[in-house]
Chains A and B, each alone.
Chain A
């Protein structure tokens, strides 16, 4: 094993790397290599993504007509509940951190692995245990409370498997906590010599902020679910008004996590997009420190705005005023990020490779998603659009338009590093376009539906809403194709793709200074950092004569 890093000059194709070093199922299931765990996560979350996507497709098909004709009302309620639970807890929250973050955080800071490799593996097993519980719950009847588990419906009235779903999410929550813990310790304690905080890639800053939310927010949802499960199982009265409890307390506790959870989904995506924009503009990111600090600001303010989900729930006017104004405070750092990305493009040398197309898509969709958030934070408008399709459209623009665009962009950007193969660029650009068009066709009509008053979670609806719903369903099928394509050509490229050079994009960052795919301990020798982040001027002057390999 000590010989793992003794042939740095061998041909890339024969070189020993983390993929070919060991073979066999156990070498994967018992691995403590962060890169292999990232791939385990990649497979698991892709599986859940397609389950959640399948539910979404059924939901959209049901809403094609105003009457409920495809499935029963109860089935529909389970579909949207489990679509939400699967997508939020089993796909979006682990997506970028557990896959790209797991793969890249140690490499970007110049470490051989995360600080606690076995805890990292444990987190994947917790995810799998939670996932199996969730699948079991789905296959034996499912749950119909909505992903929000609102009491007293979930504790006293639903006849479905609330306890099992709650426990599944409880378990998977700890997987998220352990990932965050690992990242924080790694970023603090494992940086290579010379890798100061001011030299960290902004991807790392974004993951740092994400991890703070994961370790401080997730335990609150965990304990809230414990209370829900206990209340349902033992008929306690903590949230039940009939027994003296307060159903709004549940909402406070739930949103205390679940609002910051949105930032768990979007912050890593912002980190990815920052890396992509810098690389394909060949520029240092504009206002590095402001982009870094805005991530932290989002994490901090994100904890102070939860009750903006409850403006019409029965909280006092004055509480609503406070939470409304704080919600605007959290919008500022997001705006700062968008302006800085835009400014980075200025006087750049912009390439249109697939990752950059996804980053452009992210910019567009996140801008719309973020600005429609202003409508919801605005008390006077929220009392009309709350719990309508306006909300659905808004958070899909953030969580699908934003987070998933960033995730796909990142997967394309780092795929050569992860797999050692190049993906087919033409197909990738096509897929980016299809996703962008399909997404807007699916979700833009929902803004209109929402303002017209169509409530969310409706299995049948008045006929005047049909035209927009048909448009939305049509868009969803386009979007589905857009999501299938990358999976197909990524798989294809693993076998037939051209071998990737170590740094196909000529990108900055330590992860590009090692082999593709990297050796098990990431670097042949411990890197010493003597340059600032995003030193594209130096990179471009070094490689002026070389012919670009891609793009």
Chain B
């Protein structure tokens, strides 16, 4: 996180200490505090969507349940497991940095990214399935004669199911976009780790990158039951 024109100020200090911070601790605190604030913004960003989702789910519960049943919960569940594992590898990478285990740190960063890619791949399969089934909202959308779970003989209103799928694609799509951004961040972290930037004393970028990654995971932890598991138990 250093800028060559201003870092010169640092004199004998850690080269990663930026000129306008008095101490490394201040810089570390500022960085992680900044990430927490940013996550506050992200909560509100997804919050608007969750709010819209919950309102329509309340109104059109049966239609949402029917639409939810058509998406593949097994793939969604796998993705949940993948993301939980990736959070673990992030934590391990940070621990490795703290304890000077360079090889482990690099391996865990690579593993995290592989999990991230696996998530996106599985997501892609799900999207393809929806596309094939004409469940993508738009002119070719079709959701006729889909029964509402536990209401035999009752069919979901396609218009309402379309709202579910619209929200499904926007919410998971934005989440996937966050994953892509996360992969970008982790590519940079991997590069920096490879260059030996991170030491037990200084690994703030790993920590705040990890915060971001955990947040994206947590969003998924909410998305999965809300989108995939409506009324599944019956």
What CA separation (Å) do A380 and B166 show in the bound complex? 39
Closest Cβ neighbor of A230 among chain B residues: B170
Contacts A118-B3, A253-B52; A217 near B44 (Cβ below 8 A): yes
Q: Does A185 contact B (CB under 8 A)?
A: yes
| Residue of B9, B48, B162 with most partner-chain A CB within 10 A | B48
Encode A167-201 as 1/0 by CB contact (under 8 A) with B.
Answer: 00000000001000110111011100000000000
> Least Cβ distance of A493 to chain B in Å?
30
Q: Does B153 contact A (CB under 8 A)?
A: no
Contacts A237-B166, A253-B52; A219 near B20 (Cβ below 8 A): no
A residues less than 8 Å from B163 (CB atoms): 236-238, 243-245
Pick from A109-117, A384-392, A530-538 the stretch touching chain B.
Answer: A109-117
A residues less than 8 Å from B46 (CB atoms): 223
Q: Does A2 contact B (CB under 8 A)?
A: yes
Q: Does B131 contact A (CB under 8 A)?
A: no
Let me know if B167 and A238 touch, CB within 8 A. yes
Partner of A215, one of B5, B22, B41: B41
> Least Cβ distance of B219 to chain A in Å?
13
Let me know if B37 and A215 touch, CB within 8 A. yes
Q: Does B194 contact A (CB under 8 A)?
A: no
> Least Cβ distance of B15 to chain A in Å?
14
Let me know if B22 and A526 touch, CB within 8 A. yes
What CA separation (Å) do A188 and B55 show in the bound complex? 37
Q: Does A452 contact B (CB under 8 A)?
A: no
Contacts A217-B44, A244-B163; A116 near B49 (Cβ below 8 A): no
| Residue of A118, A189, A217, A224 with most partner-chain B CB within 10 A | A189
Pick from B28-36, B199-207, B224-232 the stretch touching chain A.
Answer: B28-36
**Is the interface on chain A under 10, 10 to 19, 20 to 34, or 35 or more residues?**
35 or more
Contacts A181-B34, A190-B26, A243-B159; A249 near B55 (Cβ below 8 A): yes
Let me know if A219 and B37 touch, CB within 8 A. no
Q: Does B157 contact A (CB under 8 A)?
A: yes
Encode A116-136 as 1/0 by CB contact (under 8 A) with B.
Answer: 111100000000000000000
Let me know if B30 and A185 touch, CB within 8 A. yes
Q: Does B160 contact A (CB under 8 A)?
A: yes
| Residue of B21, B26, B30, B56 with most partner-chain A CB within 10 A | B30
Q: Does A32 contact B (CB under 8 A)?
A: yes
Let me know if A237 and B48 touch, CB within 8 A. no
What CA separation (Å) do A237 and B160 show in the bound complex? 8
> Least Cβ distance of B231 to chain A in Å?
19
Let me know if A181 and B5 touch, CB within 8 A. no
> Least Cβ distance of B129 to chain A in Å?
19
A residues less than 8 Å from B29 (CB atoms): 189
Let me know if B48 and A224 touch, CB within 8 A. yes
What CA separation (Å) do A177 and B42 show in the bound complex? 11
Let me know if A32 and B3 touch, CB within 8 A. yes
- Would you list which residues of chain B between 31 and 68 have a CB under 8 Å from chain A? 33-34, 37-38, 40-42, 44-49, 51-52, 55-56, 60
What CA separation (Å) do A220 and B170 show in the bound complex? 14
Let me know if A521 and B19 touch, CB within 8 A. yes
Partner of A235, one of B34, B45, B48, B138: B138
Let me know if A181 and B139 touch, CB within 8 A. no
Let me know if B26 and A227 touch, CB within 8 A. no
> Least Cβ distance of B17 to chain A in Å?
12
Contacts A216-B41, A237-B162; A223 near B138 (Cβ below 8 A): no
What CA separation (Å) do A231 and B170 show in the bound complex? 10
Let me know if A227 and B157 touch, CB within 8 A. no
A residues less than 8 Å from B9 (CB atoms): 1-2
Q: Does B88 contact A (CB under 8 A)?
A: no
What CA separation (Å) do A182 and B37 show in the bound complex? 9
B residues less than 8 Å from A223 (CB atoms): 45-46, 48-49
Let me know if A116 and B34 touch, CB within 8 A. yes
Closest Cβ neighbor of A236 among chain B residues: B166
Let me know if A220 and B44 touch, CB within 8 A. yes
B residues less than 8 Å from A119 (CB atoms): 34
> Least Cβ distance of A37 to chain B in Å?
13
Let me know if B166 and A216 touch, CB within 8 A. no
Contacts A2-B11, A246-B55; A185 near B48 (Cβ below 8 A): no
What CA separation (Å) do A217 and B40 show in the bound complex? 10
Let me know if A1 and B41 touch, CB within 8 A. no
What CA separation (Å) do A181 and B41 show in the bound complex? 9
Q: Interface on B for A, CB 8 Å cutoff?
A: 3, 5-6, 8-9, 11, 18-22, 26, 29-30, 33-34, 37-38, 40-42, 44-49, 51-52, 55-56, 60, 137-139, 157, 159-160, 162-163, 166-167, 170, 174
Q: A246-B56, A521-B19, A521-B20 are in contact. List 19 more A-B contacts (CB 8 A).
A: A1-B5, A113-B20, A115-B30, A118-B3, A181-B34, A181-B41, A185-B34, A190-B21, A190-B30, A217-B44, A222-B45, A223-B48, A223-B49, A234-B137, A236-B138, A236-B166, A238-B167, A253-B48, A253-B51
The 3 closest A-B pairs by CB, nearest first: A219-B45, A112-B20, A113-B20
In the assembled complex, 6 residue pairs joining A and B whose CB atoms fall closer than 8 Å, in A order, are A220-B45, A227-B48, A230-B166, A237-B162, A246-B56, A253-B51
